[in-house]
Homo-oligomer: A and B are copies of this chain.
Amino acid sequence: MKIHVVKIGGNLINDKKLLDSSLEAFCQLKGNKVLIHGGGKKANLISDQMGITTKLIQGRRITDKKTLDIVVMTYAGLINKNIVAKLQSSDCNALGLCGADGNCIKSSFRLKRTKTDIDYGYVGDIPNKSSINTSLIKLILENHIVPVLCPITHNGKGSLLNTNADTIAAYIAISLINYGEVELHFCFEKKGVLRNVHDSESYFPRIDFRLFQKIKKNHSIKNGMIPKLENAFFALKNGVSKVSIGLPYYLNDVKNKTILCP
């Protein structure tokens, strides 16, 4: 069987119309599928409304206890349940999960390697493949239910932790390779990985690991795109058949996006 693991993020989550059309495209995918969503900007909005300042160091969010509460409310509550209700209304039998649900994804507080390392607070990293409860995901898929995962995990000791959604998508894809041919799709509001950020048509149709190293070195790509591509190549190296990056509308297409290859 084919298993599609789809991550939707970026501005697709913040805009109701974009989100709805992304979910429509997801519904049309045939076969087994898993959805993973992000939602950072929405959490910033809620933080602002609650008068809580978002702390960023080197562009990364510091998750103190109050911020953790906000991301849990926003990701696992507001965004996840609205996505599930929308999919249900389109006859897609979705079931929302965070990593604590059924011990789905276990993580560990991000390690501080030296005393001067930044303390990210309630941020969880996934230690390895065995941190994914594959049998639960498999049970859900076998019952024709579509798991919808938000980027909240747990450490097994009672703490919820904020985890990168792209990393979750890569690990979920890898965890399923023994059950079928797994395709991983990173969807956002652009056509693919752009050569020139100011030209929306300038996407690379194909990036292999060598090209990735090159464009990383010459700064053609930067910021969030580098870890996204690192997750993509990590998935490819660990048995995922295909990884694509692009618009959600071309999920079923082979063209009009960036295809990653080993």
User: Which B residue's beta carbon lies closest to that of A83?
Assistant: B100
CB distance from A145 to the nearest CB of B (A): 6
Interface segment out of the listed A157-165, A181-189, A225-233, A253-261? A157-165
Whether A103 contacts B88 by the Cβ 8 Å rule is yes
Interface segment out of the listed A74-82, A190-198, A211-219? A74-82
Whether A73 contacts B78 by the Cβ 8 Å rule is yes
**Most B CB within 10 A of own CB, among A50, A72, A88, A89:** A88
Given contacts A49-B51, A73-B73, A89-B157, A84 and B96 within 8 Å (CB-CB) = no
Chain B residues with Cβ below 8 Å from A95 are: 97, 101-102
Whether A93 contacts B103 by the Cβ 8 Å rule is yes
Whether B81 contacts A98 by the Cβ 8 Å rule is yes
Q: How many copies of the chain does the oligomer comprise? A: 2
Whole-angstrom CA separation of A94 from B73 in the bound complex: 18
Chain B residues with Cβ below 8 Å from A85 are: 100, 154, 158-160
Chain B residues with Cβ below 8 Å from A77 are: 72-78, 80-81
Whole-angstrom CA separation of A159 from B84 in the bound complex: 10
User: Does any Cβ of B come within 8 Å of A143's Cβ?
Assistant: yes
Chain B residues with Cβ below 8 Å from A78 are: 69, 72-73, 77
Whether A89 contacts B158 by the Cβ 8 Å rule is yes
Whether B72 contacts A88 by the Cβ 8 Å rule is no
CB distance from A33 to the nearest CB of B (A): 15
User: Does any Cβ of B come within 8 Å of A139's Cβ?
Assistant: yes
Whole-angstrom CA separation of A158 from B92 in the bound complex: 11
Whole-angstrom CA separation of A78 from B93 in the bound complex: 24
User: Does any Cβ of B come within 8 Å of A123's Cβ?
Assistant: no
Whether A81 contacts B143 by the Cβ 8 Å rule is no
Whole-angstrom CA separation of A143 from B93 in the bound complex: 19
Given contacts A50-B49, A77-B77, A78-B69, A158 and B101 within 8 Å (CB-CB) = no
User: Does any Cβ of B come within 8 Å of A235's Cβ?
Assistant: no
> CB within 8 A of A81: which of B82, B89, B100, B156?
B100
Q: A49-B50, A95-B101 are in contact. List 8 more A-B contacts (CB 8 A).
A: A81-B100, A81-B160, A84-B98, A85-B160, A89-B158, A94-B101, A102-B145, A136-B145
